[in-house]
Amino acid sequence: MKKNYMELSRYINSYFPDTVGKVSGSVDRPPEMWIIISQVTSLLQICGMAFIVFGDSLLETFGLNPANTPKWLNSAKENKMGVFFALFFLNNYANSHLATGAFEVVYNGRTVFSKLEMGRMPNVDEVLKGMEAVRREYAQAQATVNVAA
């Protein structure tokens, strides 16, 4: 996305020289809930991998008797590959919600293009035409204010 932003920024600056240094972009932060879920699933995946690799010796390290483990833990020991894939896909699912897919172009407070609304990336002509329309509206509003004054 950063490459797309940089390329679009260059086009905007070349087409509208007065915007040089005024074009900026930022990352659209995902919802806090998904950030936390992603961190928890990452931790579960790491712990699960350690359990798969070290098994009973890991339990003994923490002072637990492998013969006294809960039923669900014994099931996990018997199905290590199932646990591995479940944790892997769970973590991937959580991480997929961290990418918002946003690529919003805003000029003078007005949205020129929204990838979230359109479902696709903009082409340069769309953005430049949208900016021209906003610039015209702004110029007309300024002219109206000057006439009224």
Residue 149, pLDDT > 60, answer no
**At 107, phi and psi to the nearest 5?**
-135, 125
Q: Which residue has the higher pLDDT, 143 or 1?
A: 143
Distance CA 28, CA 73 (A): 39
Predicted TM-score (pTM) of the model is 0.60
- pLDDT band at residue 9, thresholds of 50, 70 and 90? confident
Distance of CA 28 to the CA centre of its chain: 7
Q: pLDDT averaged over the chain?
A: 85
Distance CA 144, CA 139 (A): 9
CA-derived radius of gyration, the chain: 26
Instruction: Report yes or no: 97 and 38 within 8 Å, Cβ to Cβ.
Output: yes
Q: How far is CA 145 from CA 107, 110, 136, 138, in A?
A: 20, 19, 14, 11
| DSSP-based three-state secondary structure for 63 | coil
E strands along the chain, which residues?
Answer: 104-107, 110-114
Range ranked top by mean pLDDT from 6-10, 26-30, 31-35, 138-142: 31-35
User: pLDDT by residue (tens digit) across 21-54?
Assistant: 777 776 678 889 999 999 999 999 999 899 888 8
- pLDDT band at residue 70, thresholds of 50, 70 and 90? confident
Distance CA 142, CA 136 (A): 10
Residue 144, pLDDT > 60, answer yes
Residue 91: what residue type?
N
Per-residue pLDDT at 85: 94
| DSSP-based three-state secondary structure for 119 | coil
What DSSP character marks residue 108?
T
Residue 7: what residue type?
E
